[in-house]
Amino acid sequence: MPQNLTRDCLSAHDQQVLDSIFNPLDLTSSVMQAIEPEANAELLDIEENSAEVQQSKALEISAIELAEEGQLSEALQAFEQALNVAPTRASIYNNRAQALRLAGRDEEALADLNKAIELCIKTPRTKCTALCQRGVLYRKQSNLDAARKDFEEAAQLGSSFAKTQLVQINPFAALCNQMLRQAFDQLK
């Protein structure tokens, strides 16, 4: 029986359930797309537009570019300058954490991510990113309970990356999905 004919007989919810079974890592159904940060105006970061914020953003962008070029010590200095200008901008801590991770300084990165998450009152997109980064660090440290907690919160904020990580760290769910896929393949 053609797949389209079978799908036409199903409700939208049933189609989404089947999609999640056959493609457990592809969580981009219409429901998931509706809560992605890019598609949700409520998850946009709101920051004041003062001269200090603008200056710190410019320094932060410079620091990111330096980090991407592999100039980590210069990047970390530029992040420090950005923090001196605007010490409560969560984005700077979040991005500096990435540079610290690249430098192999995971404990300092973790401290920056904790600070970023603490400061994310009006910046849910930054919070989502910081939670994902911290979840990755926790996973690297084999602290799966803490990683799961961060990925769950980031997933609630709409992160498809976090949703993928949750599936990957839940071997029971992955095994169930694999068994269901095999059963459905046998029915074809």
How confident is the model over 149-163, as pLDDT tens digits? 999 999 998 899 998
Q: Is the domain covering 42-168 a CATH 3.90.650.10 domain?
A: no
Domain residue spans in the chain? Answer: 42-168
Tell me the per-residue pLDDT of 85-135, one tens digit each, with 9 for 90 and over.
999 999 999 999 999 999 999 999 999 999 999 998 878 889 999 999 999
pLDDT at 1: 39
Task: Find, among 164, 169, 131, 126, the residue nearest to 150 by Cα.
Answer: 131
Is the confidence at residue 178, as pLDDT, over 90? no
